[in-house]
Each structure stands twice: as structure tokens, then as C-alpha cells.
A = this chain, B = another copy of it.
Amino acid sequence: MVISINETSEVPIYQQIRNQIVLGISDGRLKPGEQLPTVRALAGEIGINSMTVNKAYVLLKQEGYIYTDRRNGAHVRKEFSEAKELSEKSKELLQQIISEAKICGMTQEEFLKICENMYKG
């Protein structure tokens, strides 16, 4: 899986890495248990400092998406909790996005349609 960084984005690089890996897990490009590139390998590939990649991995680990061990590097978690619950932060963001949708004239149906397409994607 290729990680591509937008250097001009206001989103910190470590967050961009985190986001793309979460996306990869959700759409199946990264399989449960699959090994991620090593911190150094990914840093070299992207052309950034390994501390930045490390920070992304620490974050992913804290969020429960991956686990690391010194022997084998970082791996995608094998079984995810089926909590079926969005984080508080995500709920707030979703509410914010929906308020923007309403203001630009989108009906509920139109918004749900967009979500459906993203869900399938």
C-alpha cells in the first residue's frame, strides 16, 4: 500500500499517515495481521524523518489499530472490537459536516446517498 503525503496540507504528516493506514484497513487493502513497513523503511520511502512515522505508529497503536513488537515490527490488529460506536471526536465532526450539508441545501436523502457511496467505495 502506497502512502502519499501532501506537504502543503495543514494536516500534520503523522496524522496523514495515520489516516491513510486507517483507510487501508477499512477498505481491505491492509489485511488483519498484515505487516506494515518498518518505521525506517516507510520514512525512507516517503522521504521524511523516522520520528514522524514513529509518531503515527504510536498513535495507531494507542487507538488499537495496530500492535508493534520489537521482533517483527508493526502489524495490523487481528481482531477489532465490534464496539459499533463512533468516538466522541468523530461524532462531533460528523455533526459539523452535516450542518454544512444542510446549509448548502443538501437534503437528508442526498447526504445519505453520499454516505452510502463512500461506504461501498
Chain B residues with CB under 8 Å of A94's CB are 94, 97, 114-115, 118
Interface centre among A7, A62, A101, A108, by most chain B C-beta atoms within 10 angstroms, is A101
Scan A61-103; emit 1 where CB is below 8 A from any B CB, else 0: 0100101110000000000111111110010011111111111
Given A80-B105, A105-B80, A116-B108, check contact A96 B8 (CB 8 Å).
Answer: no
Residues of A within 8 A of B (CB): 7-8, 19, 22-23, 25-27, 62, 65, 67-69, 80-87, 90, 93-106, 108, 110-112, 114-116, 118-121
23 contacts between A and B (CB under 8 A): A7-B67, A8-B69, A22-B100, A23-B96, A26-B100, A62-B62, A80-B103, A81-B105, A82-B104, A85-B104, A86-B97, A86-B100, A86-B104, A87-B100, A90-B97, A94-B97, A94-B114, A94-B118, A95-B121, A98-B119, A102-B119, A108-B119, A111-B119
